[in-house]
Amino acid sequence: MCEPSSTLSPEASRYPEAVFDVILPVVQVLLSTILVVLVLMHSGRDTGFGGMGFTPASQGGQHIVERNLTRLTLVVAALFGINTVALFYVL
């Protein structure tokens, strides 16, 4: 009878997936924590990250800081969504 030419055991052939079983949940926890912090930094008028006084209001710095914070939040939220779908398929 013909035997498979691969000498890898079933456990060894699953090794790359086993790495994802550990890495993806850790990344999910980190992304969720970062996302919560970023959302909490957003706030109403003159109170969020832009209102903390990092940039002078007279130069329009708050608007730029808030816009960059929004962009960063959207990127982290997209990564969170992608990681959620990846976790669904791996686990």
DSSP string, 18-52: HHHHHHHHHHHHHHHHHHHHHHHH--STTTSGGGG
The pLDDT, as a whole number, for residue 21 is: 87
The pLDDT, as a whole number, for residue 30 is: 98
Flag whether 76 is in a domain: yes
Flag whether 44 is in a domain: yes
Flag whether 79 is in a domain: yes
Name residue 8's amino acid.
Answer: L
Domain that holds residue 80: 14-90
Flag whether 9 is in a domain: no
- Domain count across the chain: 1
From first to last of its 91 residues, the chain has per-residue pLDDT tens of 555 555 555 555 556 677 788 999 999 999 999 999 999 988 666 555 555 655 555 556 678 888 999 999 999 999 999 999 999 988 8
Does the global pTM surpass 0.75? no
Task: Report how far residue 30's alpha carbon sits from residue 72's, in angstroms, rounded to the nearest whole number.
Answer: 15
The pLDDT, as a whole number, for residue 42 is: 84
Phi, psi of 45 (to 5 degrees): -60, 130
Residues in CB range of 12: below 8 A, 6 or more apart: none
